[in-house]
Amino acid sequence: MRFFTIWTGQAFSLLGSALVQFALVWWLTQTTGSATVLATATLAAVLPGIFIGPFAGALVDRWNRRVLMIAADGLIALVTLGLIGLYVVGAMQVWHVYAAMFLRAALGGFHWPAMQASTSLMAPKEQLARIAGLNQTLYGVMNIISPPMGALLLAVLPLHGIMAIDVLTAGLAITSLLFVAIPQPRRDDVAAITQDGRGNAAPTVLADLRAGLRYVAGWPGLLAILIMAMLLNFIINPAFALMPILVTKHFGRGALELGWLESAWGIGVVAGGLTLSAWGGFRRRVVTSLIGVIGMGLGTLAIGLSPASAFGLALAGMLFGGFMNPIANGPFMAIAQAAVAPEMQGRVFALIQSAATAMMPLSLLVAGPLADALGVRVWYVAGGVVCAVIGLFAFTVPAIMHVEENGHRA
């Protein structure tokens, strides 16, 4: 009950954040009309997760996670209030939006690992895969409803009115946290794990960060999964960035068809998340995830192989890939929540998020020129094949297949 009390508050907060993100991007588009400005805004929202995330994870394992989530939600609301004030007096500029996006992303870098690390302390381990499916469903629903809802609100409310919604939803999230206790891992457990080479407890954040890196490196299965996640993000992320080019240059279609593809993915994610939350996956969670990885590869391959006259096949590929996305991601998260020591989860989740996020700008640097030189379909075909092969190959790696049983090596 206490988990779902917090989860409900966070769901409202996530919706408010999605609406503000949509509204601010639209304001940048109307104000500047510059692709460079939009790209810079994307970097402002991504970079904190790459560089701040690992340090945030170390602090999550040191500090009270409930207080940390309250502080993160509250400070995000204050940042939004600052933007509201600037907009109302007519002083808001593009760099203010950059700064706000950077700060919101940095604070979110504390909030996300704190929430994930708290989940395993409040929910039974056997239900973690279902909870992960529920989270994937939530993200899919947000992807579907937030753009049209944001567009509708922009038609009836001024920009500062939409930003005020985010402040209100942050208040709901904070309220839910005020009345629910979250168990904390014992500090002596932290001290035992964060020992330095001489056997002395390491008191610094940097030492805690090093301990997190050693923890992941000392668990071959978790390290292999982290590397696999990085490769998959490198392969899959450009597929969404290149989608407008695929729609216009290959299929000869327009914005409506682009919207259909994005909606197909979102509907697939919701369906896959609901399926996982009801089913829970196979007893060996990693098997469920690897089937999802293979399915994502096949969906991406179907998009790349679709002839210009077969737009419906591309729609089916997006729907199938979206369905397989939570089947792949949910059980991996449940594995980490169930098997990683509670006092290490903040660091481990932050490292996973940081490493996966870092693949986005790197993959776009490669995918753009490659698509220009060889055609946009090449990335979908090659990426789909590689994704499916990675999933199949992982079945032959004992460290991955027995990741839950083997655990961390001291």
* Residue range 202-230, pLDDT digits in tens: 457 778 778 888 888 888 888 998 899 88
Name residue, tokens 């500062």.
Answer: 160
217-406 fold:
Growth Hormone; Chain: A; (1.20.1250)
Lowest mean pLDDT across 33-37, 158-162, 232-236? 33-37
* Percent of the chain predicted with pLDDT > 90: 28
Position 332 confidence tier, pLDDT thresholds 50, 70, 90 = confident
User: Is the predicted pLDDT of residue 378 greater than 70, yes or no?
Assistant: yes
What's the CATH class of domain 2-128+135-184? mainly alpha
Section 116-138 average pLDDT: 79
**Ranges of H-type helices in 89-219:** 94-122, 128-156, 159-178, 187-193, 205-217
As beta bridge partners, residue 195 has 201
pLDDT in tens, 289-328: 999 999 999 999 999 999 999 999 999 999 999 999 999 9
Name residue, tokens 């682009």.
Answer: 258
pLDDT value for 398: 92
CA 55 to chain centre: 18
Long-range contact list for 280-285, CB < 8 A, 24+ apart?
280/126, 280/127, 280/129, 280/130, 280/133, 281/129, 281/327, 281/330, 281/331, 281/334, 284/401, 284/404, 285/129, 285/331, 285/332, 285/334, 285/335, 285/404
pLDDT value for 409: 56
Residue of 383, 390, 375, 392 lying closest to 301 (CA atoms):
383
Q: In whole angstroms, what is the distance from residue 203 CA to residue 201 CA?
A: 6
- Return residue ranges of the chain for CATH 1.20.1250.20: 2-128+135-184, 217-406
What is the token pair recorded at 234?
């490198």
Section 1-21 average pLDDT: 83
pLDDT value for 190: 47
pLDDT in tens, 35-79: 677 768 877 888 887 888 778 878 888 888 888 889 999 999 999
Prediction pTM value: 0.73
